[in-house]
Amino acid sequence: MPLALLALAVGAFGIGTTEFVMMGLLPDVATDLNISLPAAGHLVSAYALGVVIGAPLLAAATARMPRRTVLIALMILFVVGNALSALAPDHHWLLAARLLSGLPHGAFFGVGAVVATTLVTPERKARSVSLMFLGLTVANIAGVPAATLMGQQFGWRATFLAVSAIGLAAIASLALLIPAEAKGAPPATGLRGELTALRSLPVWLSLGTTVAGFGALFAAYSYITPMLTDAAGYTDASVTLLLALFGVGATIGNLLGGRLADHSLRGTLFGGLTSLTLVLALFPALMTTPWTAALAVTLLGTAAFVTGSPLQLMVMEKAASAPSLASSANQAAFNLANAGGAWIGGLALAAGLGVTSPAVAGAGLAVLGLGVAGVAYAVDHRQTSPLGRERLVATHKPERTEASSLQG
C-alpha cells in the first residue's frame, strides 16, 4: 500500500478526534461558558449539521479543482474551525466554530476515498478506503481518550489547539505524499457531471443502505452507556474503557471489511449487515453479565464497520464517471444515520420497552438495510443481465410511427 494513504489517515484521525471529543468535554465546556448541559449538547449537533451541509456543497463547489488541492483546502478549513473553537469567547461563537469545523468533514472523506482508490490497483480499492478510515477508528481508541484527558487537565481550549496541530500535520502530509493527480484518476467533470451522477437509482439505493445500516448502529450505540450501567452492572468510571473496546472492534471490522470487499463487495456488505442484525438482536441477552456485555460492545463495532468500506466503494462505483459528490453524499448519509438512529432508539426507550430496546430497534433497521441492499442488487442484476440490457435498449428506442412505417 502506498505511503500516500498515511496522509489521508492522518487527516481522518484529526477529523475523528474533533468529532467525538466534544462528548467527553461537554461538562467542562458547560461549566466554563456558564451554560446548561443541554445547551452544550447543541455543540455536538452543530458539528453534525456542518457535515450534512458541507459534504455535498463543498464537493460540488470544488468539482473542477485538482483533488490534492481540494484535500489541502478542506484541511485548512478544518484547522481554522478548530482554532476558532479554542478562541471562542462565548457559547454562540463556539457554536459557529463547531459548525465551521464540521463543513469539511464529509467532503474530505468523500474526495479522500476517491483519491485512495486511484493510488492502488483495482483489486485493492476497498482495502485502500479502509486504510483511510483507519484514522477514524483509531481516533476512537487513542485520539478521543487522549484529547479528553488533555481537556480535563489543561482546559478544553487546549484540546482544540492540539487538534489544530494534527490538522497542520495532515496538511504537510497531504502536500508531500499525495501526487498532484494520481495515475488513472477519473477526470474532474464539473458540477453538471457530478449532479448527473446523482440521478442514478443505484446511487440512491446505496445511500439508502448506508442510512439504514449505520442507523442500526447508532440506534444502539447512542444509548450504550445506560445499557452498560443499568443492565450489565458496570460503574460509570468503567464505561470509557468499554467504549475503547468498541473502537478496537471498529478497527478490526474496518480492516476486515476492506480485505473481504476486494474479493466480494456485495457478499461482504450482506454478510456485515446480517452479522449486525444478529449482534443487535442478541443485545438483551448479552447485556445480562459484565463479560458478555464487553463482548457485545466489541462485536457491535466489528459488525458495523465491516460494512463501512463496502458502502463507500459501492456508492463510488455506481457514480464511476463523477464519484466525488456521490462519495461525499455518502458521508452526509452516515451523519443522517447518526441522527435518525439515535431518534428511533430513543423512541423505543421512551415507550418503556426496556433499557436494551434501542438495540432491538437497531436490529430492525439492519433488516431494513438488508432489504434496501437486496433491491439494489436486483436493480443491478436487471441492468447487467443480457435480457435486462435488451429491455433497457428497447425502452429507449424511438417508436415507429405509421408514416415512418409506410416510408420504410
pLDDT digits (tens, 9 = 90+) for 153-193: 898 999 999 999 999 999 999 999 988 765 545 555 556 66
How many other CB atoms are found less than 10 A from the CB of residue 321?
A: 12
Q: How many CB atoms lie within 10 A of CB 264?
A: 13
Contact 225, 239 (CB under 8 A): yes
- CA neighbor of 107 nearest in space, from 73, 82, 136, 137: 73
**Phi-psi sector, 34: left (phi>0), alpha (psi -120 to 50), beta:** left
Residues 306-349 pLDDT 10s: 998 888 888 888 876 667 788 888 888 888 888 788 889 888 88
| 170 phi and psi angles, rounded to 5 deg | -65, -40
User: How far is Cα 295 from Cα 274, in angstroms, rounded to an integer?
Assistant: 18
- In the predicted model, what is the mean pLDDT of the chain? 84
Q: At 81, list the grid cell.
A: 474551525
Q: What are 95-110's pLDDT values in tens digits?
A: 999 999 999 998 898 8
Give 21-55 pLDDT, tens digit per residue.
887 787 788 888 898 867 777 887 788 888 888 88
Structural domains in the chain, sorted by start: 1-179 (1.20.1250.20), 199-385 (1.20.1250.20)
- pTM for this model (two decimals): 0.78
Tens digits of per-residue pLDDT, 242-280?
878 888 999 999 999 989 998 888 999 999 999 999 999
pLDDT digits 0-9 by tens, 198-230: 777 888 998 999 999 999 998 888 888 888 888
pLDDT of residue 189: 57
Distance CA 111, CA 125 (A): 14
* pLDDT above 60: residue 403: no
- 194: pLDDT confidence band, cut at 50, 70 and 90? low
Res. 240: pLDDT tops 90: no
* pLDDT at 401 (0 to 100): 43
pLDDT tens digits, one per residue of 276-292: 999 999 999 999 999 99
C-alpha cell recorded at residue 123: 483489486
- The predicted pLDDT at position 41 comes to 74
CA distance 329 to 198: 9
Full 3-state SS string of the chain: CCCHHHHHHHHHHHHHHHHHHHHHHHHHHHHHHCCCHHHHHHHHHHHHHHHHHHHHHHHHHCCCCCHHHHHHHHHHHHHHHHHHHHHCCCHHHHHHHHHHHHHHHHHHHHHHHHHHHHCCCHHHHHHHHHHHHHHHHHHHHHHHHHHHHHHHHHCHHHHHHHHHHHHHHHHHHHHHHCCCCCCCCCCCCHHHHHHHHCCCHHHHHHHHHHHHHHHHHHHHHCCHHHHHHHHCCCCHHHHHHHHHHHHHHHHHHHHHHHHHHCCCHHHHHHHHHHHHHHHHHCHHHHCCCHHHHHHHHHHHHHHHHCCHHHHHHHHHHHCCCCHHHHHHHHHHHHHHHHHHHHHHHHHHHHCCCCCCHHHHHHHHHHHHHHHHHHHHHHHHHHHHCHHHHHHHHHHHCCCCCHHHHHHC
What is the Cα–Cα distance from 139 to 134, expressed in whole angstroms?
Answer: 8
